[in-house]
């Protein structure tokens, strides 16, 4: 089945489920070797970097898994000023970043007006850089306005393609349909769009994960962010186990085989559940890393889950740490916007 996925870039939902059910170290190793071939044919041994700026941990939502959910009263809240964000970009540019990802909770303070001013200033100061937004669900008009101001990419994990599971992970005020509508809007508007999901979320089954794979196959995102679920002590999911490293790696390989050109990050969550998780992610087929560019003073506060790594390090330390890590496995971080390379399926 792995060979067929390599060739056709598509399987049925039942076949994805069967693959996940029959996951063994040997099968995963085979999938990873084929995924690496696919990755190398498009991206060689290069790894793209994105500078992640965590602009606010204030969120109007209450996702049950998330450490910065509205209901977490022990979370000490912050939002970065325009000046602070621009300084992060400045520092990042000097370090060789050519993509800035502004991520945050759904913080109503960040109006379209404020964001447009910010995006225009970043694009003016760093015209050779891409701006990625990851600030949750907004209206179609808002996405259009931000795109017109110069935003290039948008990351909005779909979280799960299983609507029943979606309801178990989110409060009633949030809807699966709206999340999916947002993703469709982003793509139609012309953003390079990223979806994604957590692996090992509470109540998730292989059937749900198969639905995620089928969704990604059909949606054909430019980017797909996946990482293990990791519990946060101050959320309703505190008592659940974290997602498995091996399953996450296997899924990365399947996603690479499904679309050899997709931009696939080895996430911070992967580096949190295993000290060499990000290296293993690259060796399973990922081709992007996202070191933290946020001011060190706020890093501990953007605590989505327990024991998040890189909260004490300066941006330069994270960049050189990742450079070393990638070199240790024969890969090279490049100074590049890191757009998706063409690959016709």
Q: How far is the CB of 234 from ligand SAM (least distance, A)?
A: 11
Q: How far is the CB of 133 from ligand SAM (least distance, A)?
A: 9
260 vs 9, 227, 256, 272, 279, CA distance in Å?
9, 19, 5, 26, 19
Q: How far is the CB of 231 from ligand SAM (least distance, A)?
A: 6
DSSP string of 30-74? HHHHHHHHHHHHHHTTEEEE-EEEEEE---S---TT-TT-TT-TT
Residues composing the chain: 345
Is 229 among the residues that bind ligand SAM (CB under 6 A)? yes
322 vs 50, 277, 288, 306, 325, CA distance in Å?
12, 12, 11, 21, 5
Residue closer to ligand SAM, measured from CB, 13 or 174: 174
Q: How far is the CB of 26 from ligand SAM (least distance, A)?
A: 28
| Interaction partner, residue 194 (ligand FES, ligand SAM, none; CB < 5-8 Å by kind) | none
Q: How far apart are CA 250 and CA 192, in angstroms?
A: 25
DSSP E strands in the chain: the ranges are 46-49, 51-56, 99-104, 130-134, 153-155, 192-199, 223-228, 288-289, 332-334
| Interaction partner, residue 5 (ligand SAM, ligand FES, none; CB < 5-8 Å by kind) | none
Q: How far is the CB of 164 from ligand SAM (least distance, A)?
A: 18
Q: How far apart are CA 52 and CA 122, in angstroms?
A: 14
Is 182 among the residues that bind ligand SAM (CB under 6 A)? no
- Write out the residues near ligand FES by the rule CB under 6 A: 291, 310, 313, 317-318, 321-322
Residue closer to ligand FES, measured from CB, 6 or 321: 321
| Interaction partner, residue 159 (ligand SAM, ligand FES, none; CB < 5-8 Å by kind) | ligand SAM
Residue closer to ligand FES, measured from CB, 49 or 186: 49
Q: Which residues contribute to the site for ligand SAM (CB under 6 A)?
A: 65-66, 103, 105-106, 134-136, 156-157, 159, 198, 227, 229-230, 232, 269, 304-305
């Amino acid at each position: 089945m792995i060979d067929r996925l390599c060739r056709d870039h598509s399987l049925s939902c039942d076949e994805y489920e069967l693959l996940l059910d029959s996951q063994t170290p040997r099968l995963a190793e085979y999938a990873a070797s084929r995924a690496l071939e696919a990755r190398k044919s498009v991206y060689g041994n290069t790894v793209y970097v994105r500078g992640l700026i965590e602009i606010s941990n204030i969120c109007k939502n209450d996702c049950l898994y998330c450490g910065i959910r509205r209901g977490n009263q022990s979370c000490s809240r912050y939002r970065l000023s325009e000046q602070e964000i621009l300084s992060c970009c400045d520092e990042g540019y000097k370090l060789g970043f050519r993509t800035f990802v502004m991520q945050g909770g759904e913080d109503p303070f960040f109006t379209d007006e404020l964001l447009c001013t910010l995006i225009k200033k970043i694009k003016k100061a760093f015209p050779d850089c891409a701006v990625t937004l990851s600030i949750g669900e907004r209206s179609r008009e808002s996405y259009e306005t931000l795109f017109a101001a110069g935003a290039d990419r948008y990351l909005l994990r779909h979280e799960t393609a299983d609507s029943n599971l979606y309801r178990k992970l989110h409060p009633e005020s949030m809807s699966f349909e709206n999340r999916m509508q947002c993703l469709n809007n982003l793509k139609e508007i012309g953003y390079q769009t990223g979806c994604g999901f957590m692996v090992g979320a509470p109540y998730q089954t292989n059937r749900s994960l198969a639905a995620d794979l089928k969704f990604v196959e059909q949606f054909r995102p430019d980017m797909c962010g996946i990482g293990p679920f990791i519990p946060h002590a101050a959320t309703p999911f505190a008592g659940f186990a974290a997602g498995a490293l091996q399953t996450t790696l296997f899924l990365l390989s399947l996603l690479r085989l499904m679309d050899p050109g997709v931009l696939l990050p080895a996430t911070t969550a992967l580096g949190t559940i295993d000290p060499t998780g990000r290296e293993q992610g690259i060796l399973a087929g990922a081709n992007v890393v996202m070191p933290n560019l946020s001011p060190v003073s706020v890093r501990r506060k953007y605590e989505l889950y327990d024991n998040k790594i890189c909260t004490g390090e300066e941006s330069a330390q994270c960049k050189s740490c990742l450079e070393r890590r990638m070199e240790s496995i024969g890969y090279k971080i490049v100074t590049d916007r890191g757009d998706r390379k063409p690959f016709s399926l």
